[in-house]
Amino acid sequence: MTSAAEDVLTYVYAVVPRAQAPHEALAGIAGVLGSPVRYLDEPEPPADAGAGDGAQGSLAFVVSAVPRRDFDEAALKDHFEDLDWLESVARAHHDVVQTLAGHATVLPLRMATVYEDDARAREALVRRRAAFAERLARLEAQTEFGVKMYLVRSDAAGPGAEPAPEAALSPGKAYLQRRKAHRHAQEAVHAQARLAAEAIEAAAARHASQRVRHAAQSGALTGPEENVLNDAYLVPDDLAETFRAAVTDAARDFTGVRVDVTGPWAPYSFVTPPDEAEEAPDERDAMDGPGDRDAPDTPTAPDTPTGPAAPGSAGPAEPPARPDIRRTAP
Would you give per-residue pLDDT tens digits along the chain (330 residues)?
445 566 999 999 999 998 888 888 888 889 999 999 999 999 876 665 554 454 457 899 999 999 999 998 888 888 888 899 999 999 999 999 999 998 899 999 999 999 999 999 999 999 999 999 999 999 999 999 999 999 886 554 444 444 545 556 667 666 666 666 656 556 666 677 788 999 999 999 999 999 999 998 876 655 678 899 999 999 999 999 999 999 999 988 888 889 999 999 999 999 986 655 444 333 333 223 333 344 433 333 333 233 333 333 333 333 323 333 333 233
Rounded distance between C-alpha atoms, residue 104 and residue 118, angstroms: 22
CA 263 to chain centre: 11
Half-sphere exposure of 271 (CA within 13 A, CB side): 31
pTM for the structure as a whole: 0.71
Q: Would you list the domain boundaries of the chain?
A: 5-140+268-327, 143-265
Question: What is the three-class DSSP state of 216?
Answer: coil
H or E element in which residue 187 lies:
helix 171-205
Query: Please, is 131 exposed, middle or buried when counting C-beta atoms within 10 Å of its C-beta (0-12, 13-18, 19+)?
Result: middle
Give the 3-state secondary structure of 207-225: CCCEEEECCCCCHHHCCCC
CATH architecture of 143-265: 2-Layer Sandwich (3.30)
